[in-house]
């Protein structure tokens, strides 16, 4: 299997974590450029999962775990959303016994197993010289591990939360913001018709970019984000005042899924954790809505205000990419190939200060990227701080 029809070698590409619009354009960009430069391209299915499920035997059909990419294949998918290579939240360094592939269960018997040796063995079996993973900080943190093991890796950042350190932009963020604006404005008609509060829960586990930026752009009057534990009475008071000032008698708040009440913690839909130790978030919008309704009478002359409560969820990550999430993935893919052609690896392609660049791959594990509330969030008014935008990035929040 290690034999290559590519004159220069073989490039592998995979997508991990949540799907976002822009993944397929990135796969297309990498593939088209690589083929033109004389490489063969292999797409790994289901992210890191495909690399532990391969059976390194030429007699075995591994078609469920990888495919040879051609110009025709990537052109068909390149304008669409999602990822045709599929995705998973597999973390090869921390594989529970229950999900160890059947052919490896005699070898790996611990409750949690490090299957990195199998990943390296399968990369060698496929003859892959360079691997280009596209993902968020979780997916890319394992890419750092592979690089530390000596494998040649070039990462591409993607996540609608826009929270990968080292880059101002991650694939998927623009479409998420665009959809949030569109859907919030659409829901205003119902909120105004019924004179209610409108509570919209958006993505954002640790970082509030997906709530703060749409609010800054006029989607809402208030937002609550993970970086600041908010007082529900203060939020209620502000929304009642906003509603009273509005001729249509409604007000809007965007709620990050990781937002927390003062004195409280994150709200989870269940206690099960994924491979990276994250519990599934969901429900803060429901709790905020219930509390707003209960407390609103205190600030509204004894009369409760009803609530429209909507969780946007997968509606902002499905479907086709917008213009930015079509252009940036194209550029990121070509930047990755530029590095490969120069023999450079252990890097992350980035967009910084309005310019495309690259940074050390391990920047993704060096820190957390969150909203600087001292610069961008008014903690008293629970809304963005509007200051000079001079020399700020396209999406303002650094």
Backbone torsions φ then ψ of 271, nearest 5 degrees: -95, -5
Dist CA 285 CA 268 (whole Å): 11
Q: Are 228 and 376 in contact (CB under 8 A)?
A: no
Provide the terminal-to-terminal Cα distance of the chain, rounded to the nearest Å.
Answer: 45
Give the 3-state secondary structure of residue 318. Answer: coil
**DSSP assigned state of 116:** H
- Is the CB of residue 365 less than 8 Å from the CB of residue 145? no
Largest CA-CA distance found in the chain, in angstroms, rounded: 77
Of 129, 137, 138, 161, the catalytic one is: 161
Distance CA 2, CA 248 (A): 66
Residue 231 among the catalytic residues = no
Q: Are 355 and 371 in contact (CB under 8 A)?
A: no
Helix, strand, coil percentages, rounded to 5, for the chain: 35, 20, 45
**Dist. CA 21–CA 326, nearest whole Å:** 8
Half-sphere exposure of 118 (CA within 13 A, CB side): 25
Distance CA 183, CA 177 (A): 10
Please say whether the beta carbons of 24 and 62 come within 8 A.
no
Q: Annotated active-site positions, please?
A: 161
């Amino acid at each position: 299997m290690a034999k290559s029809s590519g004159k220069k070698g073989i490039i592998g590409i995979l997508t991990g974590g949540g799907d976002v619009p822009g993944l397929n354009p990135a796969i297309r960009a990498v593939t088209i450029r690589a083929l033109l430069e004389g490489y063969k391209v292999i797409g790994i299915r289901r992210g890191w999962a495909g690399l532990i499920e391969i059976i390194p035997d030429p007699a075995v059909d591994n078609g469920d775990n990888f495919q040879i990419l051609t110009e025709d294949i990537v052109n068909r998918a390149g304008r669409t959303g999602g990822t045709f290579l599929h995705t998973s939240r597999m973390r090869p360094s921390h594989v529970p016994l229950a999900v160890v592939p059947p052919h490896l269960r005699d070898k790996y018997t611990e409750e949690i197993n490090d299957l990195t040796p199998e990943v390296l063995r399968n990369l060698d079996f496929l003859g892959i010289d360079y691997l280009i993973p596209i993902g968020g900080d979780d997916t890319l943190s394992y890419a750092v591990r592979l690089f530390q093991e000596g494998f040649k890796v070039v990462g591409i950042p993607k996540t609608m939360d826009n929270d990968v350190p080292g880059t101002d932009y991650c694939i998927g963020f623009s479409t998420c913001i665009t959809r949030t604006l569109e859907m919030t404005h659409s829901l205003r008609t119902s909120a105004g018709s019924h004179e209610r509060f409108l509570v919209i829960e958006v993505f954002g586990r640790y970082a509030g970019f997906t709530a703060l930026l749409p609010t800054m752009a006029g989607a809402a009057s208030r937002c609550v984000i993970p970086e600041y534990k908010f007082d529900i009475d203060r939020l209620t008071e502000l929304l009642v005042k906003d509603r009273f000032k509005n001729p249509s008698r409604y007000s809007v708040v965007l709620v990050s899924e990781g937002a927390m009440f003062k004195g409280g913690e994150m709200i989870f839909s269940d206690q099960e954790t994924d491979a990276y130790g994250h519990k599934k978030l969901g429900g803060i919008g429901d709790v905020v809505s219930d509390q707003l309704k209960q407390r609103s009478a205190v600030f509204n002359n004894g009369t409760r205000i009803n609530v429209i409560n909507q969780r946007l969820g997968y509606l902002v990550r499905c479907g086709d990419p917008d213009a930015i999430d079509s252009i940036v993935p194209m550029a990121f893919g070509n930047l990755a190939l530029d590095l490969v052609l120069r023999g450079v690896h252990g890097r992350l392609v980035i967009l910084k200060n309005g310019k495309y660049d690259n940074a050390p791959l391990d920047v993704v594990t060096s820190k957390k990227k969150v909203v600087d509330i001292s610069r961008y969030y008014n903690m008293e008014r629970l809304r963005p701080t509007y200051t000079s935008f001079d020399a700020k990035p396209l999406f303002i929040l650094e």
